[in-house]
Structure 1
């Protein structure tokens, strides 16, 4: 039983490392869409993930289409700041995927338009901040989904 985190072309190794740590703690598979803005051998990536890389189920893809075709029948939620629906308005189910875009410009608009029904956002003040940190957003999403299913077997 699990949810899934998808990083669409991540650019910052610390964010990916922190997300990997969250994945290890929650038994959440991590899916990465290439290209990445860093090497998986990057010292900062390993440092951010601490000693948890062995506990992360990680998969790499060359395109979002490759991932979507592999997991037909699953639900994919695209997390972006301008989505019309709040993330708390959704009842999540085992096997759902949460897709996060690049740190610099998010998920491309054409992809979002194709998935308008599953586009969600975390509320925040945009007066001084354009977005939350990617690793914080991923943690918020996966823990809300886990809360809704009574945290599966997590202690």
Structure 2
């Protein structure tokens, strides 16, 4: 895809089902998916294939060996937004632009502090409490809000 709406970036994802569901979100939004190793599963796992169904053909998938390799792949001027329950700013206040990268951490621990401290960080509202949302749900909520801001849906 030459001009994707967004890039959804999963740092060291652990659950095949979540990644499959994020891939489906990418397919329906016209977003690209970036996966930063190591993964807690294999891309040919049955759980991943079941979650992604036949949507993977519609997704531009980028695999990166590590955070450094991902950063090296970024074009000049790329904006990366780190999503974290520790952030102070809500995602609705970000002012997303076409081509932004939305970064999410692993399911069990979220983004490490060394990574999120170097990036603009956003959080999703959780008025009912709880530690965090499921990765696929959080990525979907953030991606659709970004799309709304960009496209005016």
TM-score normalized by structure 1?
Answer: 0.91
Runs of 4+ in 1 over 6 A off after TM superposition: none
Unpaired runs of 5+ in structure 1? none
CA distance in 2, matches of 1:37, 1:151: 36
Per-residue deviation, residues 80-125 of structure 1 (Å, max 9, x unmatched): 111011101111111100000000001111111122xx10000103
2:77 corresponds to? 73
Q: Given the two structures, how large is their TM-score scaled by the length of structure 2?
A: 0.93
Query: Against the structure 1 CA distance between its residues 126 and 107, is the aligned structure 2 distance closer, same or farther, given a 3 Å change threshold?
Result: farther
Identify the residue that residue 30 of structure 1 maps to in structure 2.
33
Give the aligned partner of residue 50 of structure 2: 47
Superposed CA RMSD in Å reads: 1.4
Q: 1:34-83: CA deviations, max 9, x gaps? A: 00000111000000111111111000001122222221310000001110
1:148 matched to which residue of 2?
149
> What corresponds to 2:111 in structure 1?
107
Question: 1:111-150 counterparts in 2 under 5 A?
Answer: 111-115=115-119, 118-125=120-127, 127=129, 129-150=130-151
